[in-house]
Amino acid sequence: MSPQPSRSGRVNVIQGDYHVCDNPETVLTTVLGSCVAACLRDPVSGVGGMNHFLLPGRIAGTSTGVGSESYAVHLMELLVNGLLSRGAQRHRLQAKLFGGGKMIADLPDVGVRNAAFAQNFLTKEGIEYLGGSVGGELARRVDFWPSTGRARQKFVQAEHVPAKVEPVARTVREESGDVELF
């Protein structure tokens, strides 16, 4: 079930969920650690959406955990199909990816698996990948304006990072909208 916008027009997309809309007043937002958010849109129809997924660990009876990707595939397909049902065309879809951080130093890097899965999915589906921000060791808050493709990210300081260290601000301008990293 897709979340509903608040009175401010913000929709919080939580892990395991997605939201699709074409309202220029709506901002989709989420907070990510090792999870990944795929932000997709059709620039012609103005329809866009966001999902938020984390590949689960190994499924009982498997040795590689490959079967666990079916959860992420399902959520990516829900997002794509939601866009298509609102008038988007598959050949015009564009994507930005965020998240996939390594949040716990002594554990396997599930964030890199999440980011690699998302990038591979986009390639296999022929969806144009415009960039975004994946990896690193900090959590991030992402805002996405689905009708314009604008995306903004703010790093969330972890307890192990001194408060005086701040990520360098940079902006990447793209034809389909901005990605603001600060």
Q: Which residues are catalytic?
A: 35
Contacts by residues 152-159 (CB-CB < 8 Å, ≥ 24 positions apart): 152/178, 152/179, 152/180, 152/182, 153/98, 153/179, 153/180, 153/181, 153/182, 154/182, 155/182, 156/31, 158/103
DSSP secondary structure letters along 112-156: HHHHHHHHHHHHHHT-EEEEEEE-SSSEEEEEEETTTTEEEEEEE
